[in-house]
């Protein structure tokens, strides 16, 4: 198994460009199943989750061709309503996104349970309620779930939570349903917007994109399209944290500025200043960083919420950033009850953190971090630990880096371009070094 060896404590400099939005690429790839015609997606990140979903599409009969470094064409003409390979499906959470398009096109779908990050309970009920609202019947057979519908019917559906993947599944089903579907309490994240715009390019009729109410007029068929996926705002937020913890000035090229309001507000609360220069975002991490107290000296907090609030996927990055800023702050992760458990690794590196409960942590900074042996528990916490290692003095070794690579393309190469001292090794060589000491 590969590991990252990191020698931290070195300021970085230079420019880095975010890849395409991972969380947009996955539902857009799933949407290619809605039509037998070719769909070409541009700015697709070459990451493990994307490669796994493409493997699943191929296993269902789709033709997949990379026609450029970040351009992929999927033709699903030969796809049938088969059952995806369970071993592939359990690798990624995004396998659940096959339900909507397969149900819409074939009237039935059988799926094994999805995999993905172990960051707490991740409900499927909202998906099922949306499908049932359009007339589908759902049965659980062993560990599989089977969804059938003689013909999906448009309906007024209120989602019991603004789940991103449930919204995406509901939209992909509704675009082929008979009549109008109104989807209320829908998620509105940038990746949901990307999916909706791809579907419109394919011939769907969707109104209210970017809001929490989507009106969808069903159509009889969808066609092929070419669509460019937007830059990843979560990766951009990770690079803001990178500049802050390493006390570096970093230029983020072609940042998705229209999607960064809540992100910049959250990092500004941690004392991180950024500026915009000709479409790029410049992180001034080399300046003094002080956590901004609330009025009357109250301890401030950074908390996540449904879009357009601060993204849940950036709470791990915000927490590490707080360890390097002066002051006290409460980090409140409301969505997943296991996402904060990586904080014990940071405490072992010298951070001052009180984990109040599974959702809240109080961070007192700044801390002088030291290198350590670490293990990535999930994509975002793994990236947060990598940032901590780059900020720490001394050597760190990060295990289970495939979790990081599921969401960040060639991250070691790109960080080396900024001057980071990071190398990717196979575990066997690392074991040999340890035994030789």
> 398-420: per-residue pLDDT in tens?
999 999 999 999 999 999 999 99
Summary mean pLDDT of the chain? 93
**Predicted local distance difference test score (pLDDT) of residue 346:** 98
Both ends of the chain: CA-CA distance in Å? 21
Average pLDDT of the segment spanning 69-93: 89
**Predicted local distance difference test score (pLDDT) of residue 93:** 80
**Number of C-beta neighbours around residue 44 at 10 A:** 27
* E-strand stretches of 121-212: 137-141, 144-148, 156-158, 180-184, 205-207
Instruction: Identify whether residues 9 and 44 lie together within a single domain.
Output: no
**Predicted local distance difference test score (pLDDT) of residue 428:** 64
pLDDT tens-digit readout, 340-383: 999 999 999 999 999 999 999 999 999 999 999 999 999 999 99
CATH of the domain at 107: 3.65.10.10
Helix or strand or coil: residue 142?
Answer: coil
Instruction: Identify whether residues 180 and 252 lie together within a single domain.
Output: no
Query: For residue 245, what pLDDT band results from cuts at 50, 70 and 90?
Result: very high
Average pLDDT of the segment spanning 45-62: 95
Instruction: Identify whether residues 130 and 171 lie together within a single domain.
Output: yes
Handedness of CA 83, 84, 87, 91 (dihedral sign): negative
Average pLDDT of the segment spanning 157-182: 97
Q: What is the rounded CA–CA span in Å between residue 344 and residue 248?
A: 26
Q: What is the rounded CA–CA span in Å between residue 398 and residue 78?
A: 42
CA distances from 410 to 18, 94, 123, 187 (A): 11, 21, 31, 29
For residue 295, how many C-alpha atoms fall within 13 Å in the half-sphere facing its CB? Answer: 0
**Number of C-beta neighbours around residue 276 at 10 A:** 12
Instruction: Identify whether residues 182 and 236 lie together within a single domain.
Output: no
Instruction: Identify whether residues 283 and 432 lie together within a single domain.
Output: yes
Domain end among 228, 258, 291: 228
Q: What is the rounded CA–CA span in Å between residue 254 and residue 236?
A: 10
**Predicted local distance difference test score (pLDDT) of residue 115:** 65
Q: What amino acid positions are annotated as catalytic residues?
A: 117
Instruction: Identify whether residues 213 and 290 lie together within a single domain.
Output: no
Average pLDDT of the segment spanning 377-392: 96
Domain end among 208, 228, 248: 228
Instruction: Identify whether residues 348 and 405 lie together within a single domain.
Output: yes
DSSP code, position 371: -
pLDDT tens-digit readout, 261-286: 999 999 999 999 999 999 999 999 99
**Predicted local distance difference test score (pLDDT) of residue 80:** 87
Determine if the peptide bond prior to 96 is cis (ω within 30°).
no
- In the chain, how many domains are there? 2
Q: Which domain holds residue 113?
A: 22-228
Could you tell me the two tokens for 347? Answer: 């405490």
**Predicted local distance difference test score (pLDDT) of residue 300:** 96
Taking 60 as the threshold, does the pLDDT of residue 437 lie above it? no
Q: Which of 343, 137, 286 is nearest to 330 (CA)?
A: 343
pLDDT tens-digit readout, 284-343: 999 999 999 999 889 999 999 999 999 999 999 999 999 999 999 999 999 877 789 999
Instruction: Identify whether residues 190 and 322 lie together within a single domain.
Output: no
**Predicted local distance difference test score (pLDDT) of residue 33:** 97
Instruction: Identify whether residues 26 and 14 lie together within a single domain.
Output: no
Helix or strand or coil: residue 121?
Answer: coil
pLDDT tens-digit readout, 188-228: 999 999 999 999 999 999 999 999 999 999 999 999 999 99
pLDDT tens-digit readout, 72-81: 999 999 998 7
Query: For residue 427, what pLDDT band results from cuts at 50, 70 and 90?
Result: confident
Instruction: Identify whether residues 219 and 128 lie together within a single domain.
Output: yes
The DSSP element (H or E) to which 412 belongs, if any, is helix 411-416
Which has more confidence, 401 or 145?
401
Q: What is the rounded CA–CA span in Å between residue 200 and residue 215?
A: 12
Ramachandran angles phi, psi of 71, nearest 5°: -120, 125
Domain end among 197, 212, 228: 228
**Predicted local distance difference test score (pLDDT) of residue 307:** 96
> 3-state SS of 48-117?
HHHHHHHHHHHHCCCEEEEEECCEEEEECCCCCCCCCCHHHHCCCHHHHHHHHHHHHHHCEEEECCCCCC
**Predicted local distance difference test score (pLDDT) of residue 121:** 45
Q: What is the rounded CA–CA span in Å between residue 340 and residue 329?
A: 15
**Predicted local distance difference test score (pLDDT) of residue 297:** 87
Instruction: Identify whether residues 47 and 156 lie together within a single domain.
Output: yes
Instruction: Identify whether residues 134 and 250 lie together within a single domain.
Output: no
Percent of the chain at pLDDT exceeding 90: 86
Ramachandran angles phi, psi of 344, nearest 5°: -65, -30
């Amino acid at each position: 198994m590969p590991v990252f060896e990191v020698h931290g404590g070195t300021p970085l400099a230079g420019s880095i460009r975010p890849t395409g939005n991972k969380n947009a690429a996955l539902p857009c790839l799933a949407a290619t199943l809605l039509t037998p015609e070719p769909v070409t997606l541009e700015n697709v990140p070459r990451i493990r989750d994307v490669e796994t979903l493409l493997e699943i599409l191929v296993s269902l009969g789709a033709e997949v061709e990379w026609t450029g470094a970040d351009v992929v064409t999927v033709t699903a003409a030969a796809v049938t309503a088969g059952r995806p390979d369970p071993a592939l499906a359990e690798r990624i959470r995004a396998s659940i996104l096959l339900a909507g398009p397969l149900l819409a096109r074939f009237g039935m779908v059988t799926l094994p349970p999805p995999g993905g990050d172990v960051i707490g309970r991740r409900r499927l009920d909202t998906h099922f309620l949306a499908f049932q609202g359009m007339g589908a019947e759902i049965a659980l057979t062993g560990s599989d779930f089977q969804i059938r519908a003689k013909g999906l019917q448009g309906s007024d559906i209120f989602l019991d939570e603004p789940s991103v993947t449930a919204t995406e599944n509901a939209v992909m089903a509704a675009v082929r349903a008979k009549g109008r579907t109104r989807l209320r309490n829908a998620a509105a994240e940038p990746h949901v917007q990307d999916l909706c715009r791809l579907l419109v390019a394919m011939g769907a009729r969707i109104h209210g994109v970017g809001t929490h109410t989507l009106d969808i007029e069903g159509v009889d068929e969808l066609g092929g399209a070419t669509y460019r996926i937007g830059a990843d705002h979560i990766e951009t937020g990770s690079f803001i944290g990178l500049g802050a913890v390493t006390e570096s000035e970093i230029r983020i090229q072609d940042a998705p500025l229209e999607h960064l309001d809540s992100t910049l507000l959250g990092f500004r609360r941690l004392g991180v200043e950024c500026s915009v220069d000709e479409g790029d975002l410049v992180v001034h991490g080399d300046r003094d960083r002080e956590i901004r107290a609330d009025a009357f000296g109250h301890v401030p907090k950074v908390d996540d919420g449904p879009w357009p609030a601060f993204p849940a996927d950036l709470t791990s990055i915000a927490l590490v950033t707080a360890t390097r800023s002066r002051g006290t702050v409460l980090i409140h992760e409301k969505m997943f009850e296991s996402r904060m458990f990586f904080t014990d690794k940071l405490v072992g590196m010298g951070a001052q953190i009180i984990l109040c409960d599974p959702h809240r942590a109080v961070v007192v900074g700044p801390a002088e971090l030291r290198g350590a042996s670490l293990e990535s528990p999930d994509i975002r916490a793994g990236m947060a630990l990598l940032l901590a290692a780059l900020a720490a003095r001394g050597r760190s070794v990060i295990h289970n880096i495939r979790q990081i690579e599921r969401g960040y393309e060639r991250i070691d190469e790109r960080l080396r371009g900024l001057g980071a001292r990071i190398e990717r090794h196979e575990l066997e060589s690392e074991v040999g070094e340890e035994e030789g000491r």
